[in-house]
Amino acid sequence: MSVAEALARVAELERRLMTPAPPASEVGDSFATMLGAVASPAGVSPVQPAGEGDVPYASLIDGAAARHGLDPALLRGLVRQESGFDASAVSHAGARGLTQLMPGTAAALGVTDPTDPAQALDGGARYLRELLDRFGGDTSKALAGYNAGPGAVQRYGGIPPYAETRAYVTNVLAYADAYRSGAASPLAA
């Protein structure tokens, strides 16, 4: 496992600490299965391949990506990092849904119910498109803006020096690469 993969794994586990573990009867016996069940929502294990069949909401994600001129793999990576494909996810800061939109951002994007997968994906895709346009198509800056806010990216002239934001950008790009290649998840052991 590379350093980037280890950092991505640590960030993902930290993010999932707020997600309750499923009952033992749903987890299975192996350590890898238990770790996957704790680190990810039910049905989304970091040891599963990243193929189309393993992506919840794949058709909604791909549709939102197409409407907003995004790489579907990038949007899949963002959703995986933001919510682990859990439409009911709520962050400690109050961001909600698959794309973890803050209430003000959701309202500005016309998203009335961020827990509705179709609305969340469309709003998150629209916001990512706006950030890509704002930062001249620079994917890393757009992702940093999605995580830390576009003002922080402008203040620092690039990805802010926040560990969380740097890990976020690395994770989303790694997930997107994995989805593009159909390879196993970058967090696989």
pLDDT in tens, 82-113: 999 999 999 999 999 999 999 999 999 999 99
Give the percent of the chain with pLDDT over 70: 68
**Considering the domain 50-181, what is its CATH architecture?**
Orthogonal Bundle (1.10)
- pLDDT score, position 181: 93
Q: How many CB atoms neighbour CB 146 within 10 A?
A: 27
| Residue 35 predicted with pLDDT over 80 | no
Dihedral sign, CA of 86, 88, 94, 98?
Answer: positive
Query: Mean pLDDT, to the nearest integer, of 38-49?
Result: 36
What pLDDT shows up at residue 3?
54
pLDDT for residue 38: 34
How many Å apart are CA 6 and CA 186, to the nearest integer?
10
**Backbone dihedral angles phi then psi of residue 2, each to the nearest 5 degrees:** -80, 170
Over range 48-75, report the average pLDDT: 85
State the average pLDDT over residues 7-14. Answer: 51
Of residues 77, 76, 74, 128, the one with CA closest to residue 101: 128
Looking at the DSSP bridge assignments, the partners of residue 90 are 96
Give the per-residue pLDDT at 39. Answer: 37
- pLDDT reported for residue 5: 55
Is residue 20 within 8 Å of residue 77, measured between CB atoms? no
Instruction: Find the mean pLDDT for residues 10-15.
Output: 50
3-state SS assignment for residue 97: coil
- Note if the pTM is more than 0.75: no
pLDDT of residue 158: 97
Active centre residues (catalytic): 82
86 vs 24, higher pLDDT: 86
How many residues would you count in the chain?
Answer: 189
